[in-house]
Structure 1
Amino acid sequence: MKKYAIRNRVSAVVTALATAAMLFASVGASAQTKVGFVYVGPIGDHGWTYRHDLGRLAVENELGVKTTFVESVPEGADAERVIRKLATSGNDIIFTTSFGYMNPTNKVAKQFPDVKFEHATGYIRADNVSTYSARFYEGRAVLGTIAGHMSKSGVVGYIASFPIPEVVRGINAFVLAMQKVNPDAVVKVIWVNTWYDPGKEGDAAKALIDQGADIITQHTDSPAPLQVAEQRGVHGFGQASDMSAFAPTAQLTAIIDDWNAYYVARVKAAMDGTWKSIDTWDGIKSGMVGIAPYGPAVPAKVRAAADAVKQSIIDGSFHPFQGPINDQSGKQIVAEGEHLDDGVLLGMDYYVEGVQGELQ
Structure 2
Amino acid sequence: MTLTRLLTTVALALGLATVATAGDKTKIGFIYVGPIGDGGWTYEHDKGRLAIEDHFGDAVETVYQESVPEGADAERAITQMALQGADLIFTTSFGFMEPTIEVAKTFPDVKFEHATGYKTLPNVSTYSARFYEGRAVQGHIAGRMTQSNIIGYIASYPIPEVIRGINSAYLHARKVNPDVEFKIIWAYTWFDPAKEADAAQALIEQGADVILQHTDSTAPQAAAEKAGDVVTFGQASDMAEYAPFPRVSSIIDNWAPYYIARTQAVMDGTWQSQQVWHGIGKGMVGIGEITDAVPADVRAGALALKEAMAAGEYHPFTGPINRQDGSAWLAEGEVADDGTLLGMDFYVEGLSGQIPN
Q: Structure 1 length as normaliser, TM-score? A: 0.91
Give the partner amino acid of 2:118. Answer: Y
1:185 aligns with 2:176: no
Q: Deviations over 1:16-54 (max 9, x none)?
A: xxxxxxxxxxxxx99421010000000000000000000
2:33 aligned residue (18, 35, 40): 40
Match of 1:277 in 2: 273
Task: Say which one has the larger Rg.
Answer: 1
For the 8 Å contact 1:252–1:297, the answer to whether it is kept is yes
1:104 aligns with 2:99: yes
Q: Secondary structure at the match of 1:355?
A: coil
1:225 aligns with 2:220: yes
1:336 aligns with 2:332: yes
Distance in 2, matches of 1:250 and 1:196, equals: 20
Q: Secondary structure at the match of 1:209?
A: helix
1:287 aligned residue (283, 286, 289): 283
Give the partner amino acid of 1:354. Answer: G
1:298 aligns with 2:291: no
Give the partner amino acid of 1:211. Answer: Q
Structure 1 segment 66-77 matched on structure 2, within 5 A: 66-77=61-72
1:171 aligns with 2:166: yes
Q: Secondary structure at the match of 1:276?
A: coil
Match of 1:135 in 2: 130
Give the partner amino acid of 1:272. Answer: D
1:214 aligns with 2:215: no
Q: Secondary structure at the match of 1:304?
A: helix
Structure 1 segment 250-269 matched on structure 2, within 5 A: 250-269=246-265
Distance in 1, matches of 2:216 and 2:158, equals: 15
Give the partner amino acid of 2:210. Answer: I
Match of 2:245 in 1: 249
Q: Which moved more, 1:215-224 or 1:315-324?
A: 315-324
Q: Secondary structure at the match of 2:242?
A: coil
Match of 2:90 in 1: 95
Give the partner amino acid of 2:142. Answer: A
Distance in 1, matches of 2:140 and 2:127, equals: 27
Q: Secondary structure at the match of 2:258?
A: helix
Distance in 2, matches of 1:229 and 1:336, equals: 38
Match of 2:119 in 1: 124
For the 8 Å contact 1:179–1:185, the answer to whether it is kept is yes
CA 1:225–1:247: 2 relative to 1, 3 Å: farther
For the 8 Å contact 1:185–1:354, the answer to whether it is kept is no
1:201 aligns with 2:193: no
Distance in 1, matches of 2:145 and 2:43, equals: 29
Match of 1:81 in 2: 76
2:44 aligned residue (31, 51, 64): 51
Distance in 2, matches of 1:251 and 1:357, equals: 27
Distance in 1, matches of 2:85 and 2:100, equals: 16
For the 8 Å contact 1:157–1:213, the answer to whether it is kept is yes
Give the partner amino acid of 1:43. Answer: I
Match of 1:18 in 2: none
Q: Secondary structure at the match of 1:124?
A: coil
Q: CA deviation at 1:357?
A: 1.7
1:319 aligns with 2:315: yes
Q: CA deviation at 1:332?
A: 2.3
Give the partner amino acid of 1:337. Answer: G
Q: Secondary structure at the match of 2:294?
A: coil
For the 8 Å contact 1:30–1:271, the answer to whether it is kept is no
Q: Secondary structure at the match of 2:97?
A: helix
Distance in 2, matches of 1:354 and 1:63, equals: 49
Distance in 2, matches of 1:253 and 1:140, equals: 11
Q: Which moved more, 1:288-297 or 1:93-102?
A: 288-297
For the 8 Å contact 2:214–2:235, the answer to whether it is kept is yes
RMSD between superposed Cα atoms in Å: 1.4
Q: CA deviation at 1:243?
A: 0.9
Q: Which moved more, 1:294-303 or 1:246-255?
A: 246-255
Q: CA deviation at 1:296?
A: 2.6
Distance in 2, matches of 1:62 and 1:173, equals: 35
Give the partner amino acid of 1:40. Answer: V
Gaps of 5+ in 2: 1-21
Q: Secondary structure at the match of 2:241?
A: coil
Q: Which moved more, 1:159-168 or 1:29-38?
A: 29-38
Q: CA deviation at 1:247?
A: 5.1
For the 8 Å contact 2:281–2:312, the answer to whether it is kept is no
